[in-house]
Amino acid sequence: MKRPWSHCHWLPINKPVMKRSTPRLFLVLIVFSGFVLTAKAPSLSAAEVLERILAVVNDEIVTERDLQILLAPVAAQYRTLHTGKELEDKLAAARRDFLNKVIEDKLILSEAKRKKVIVKDEEVDEMITEIRNKFPAKETFLNAIESQGLTEKKLWNRFYDQLMTQKLVNYEVRSRVFVSPGEIAEYYKTHGQDFAQGDRARLQQILVRIGSRSEEDAKAFAETLVSRIRGGASFEELAKSYSEGAEAKEGGEMGWVEKGQLLGEIDQKVFEQDAGQVTEPVKTSLGYHVFKVVERQRFSVKPLTEVKDQIQDLIFKKKMRERLESWVASLRKNAYISIR
């Protein structure tokens, strides 16, 4: 499907999209996909309402349909959580917020058109195909978009506009945000506790169940196993042979467990041990448990090498958000915006 005026777009803003989080102003595509898939078809009178103009942004118009594409999923969620006056207030606040977001989207779209951002038809076709493939048949897809008052051409044009805005934001904002090694080091220095990890232990377990034997026999057998382990027997081999726990085939391997995750008495007994030590049998409703602390890590702060990428992402998102807000504010200053 070709746009007759596509040859007029000459500015080569084709920076590759970096794999960072998408700014919230540009979630229209994702939300719209879900809206088409799940929203109920409007009545004929509602279709007319959807074309009502809410605002004018330079040469772009904002319709009720533009707003509802973003608002519908949130409104549906609110209706499951709130009622009465509380619901009305939530919906009114959401409507104001989303109207502002749509206005900002149109503001950026207007700037993208002014700068003649290039979008290839193949890029839009790919997006249409991706959405169409979510449906069992093309007819189902066409019926779904028709229920929203759209044709395939109108949907194509919407995706074309969205790609224009995304490419412009990528060029004007995203590509100009950088995070230096010094910023990462400084953040780590001032936010070290954010990367703290508590006591944890890698455990193996042997479970001797009560039921097939008396409680006294179960306890005595568990104590015998502890003696054998402390005498040099392999915990793993004994677990494979005698444990009645789910991990028996793996030699009782439970993996890493943080302090506080286990039942009270078990947690206390386990974290009293050092690496290589074995607990006395601990009774629960299942029977008697014997634990070996294979490895032990005390409270510590993760090293910078381990959290560097996480910090870089946090800083990038913050700088991206700030630059985006600043850039949109500068566009507003020279824009014509009329809210009806």
- Alpha-carbon distance of 175 to 192, in angstroms, equals 29
* SS3 call for 9: coil
Alpha helices in the chain (DSSP H): 28-38, 44-50, 64-81, 84-114, 121-132, 138-146, 152-172, 181-190, 215-230, 235-242, 264-270, 304-333
Q: Are 257 and 296 in contact (CB under 8 A)?
A: no
- The pLDDT score that the predictor gives to residue 209 is 94
- The pLDDT score that the predictor gives to residue 70 is 83
State pLDDT tens for residues 36-91. 444 444 444 555 666 789 889 998 998 888 888 888 889 889 999 999 999 999 99
State pLDDT tens for residues 236-268. 999 999 999 999 999 999 999 988 889 888 999
Q: In what order do the strands lie in the sheet with 253-258?
A: 253-258, 200-209, 287-297, 282-283
- The pLDDT score that the predictor gives to residue 45 is 53
- Bridge partners for 205 per DSSP: 291
Tokens of residue 76, six digits: 């549906």
- The pLDDT score that the predictor gives to residue 301 is 86
State yes or no: pLDDT of 177 exceeds 90. Answer: yes
All domains of the chain in start order, with CATH: 6-177+318-339 (1.10.4030.10), 199-298 (3.10.50.40)
- Strands 337-339 and 53-57, by their bridges, are antiparallel
State pLDDT tens for residues 182-228. 999 999 999 988 888 778 999 999 999 998 789 999 999 999 999 99
CB atoms near residue 130 (< 10 Å): 11
Tokens of residue 258, six digits: 């943080």
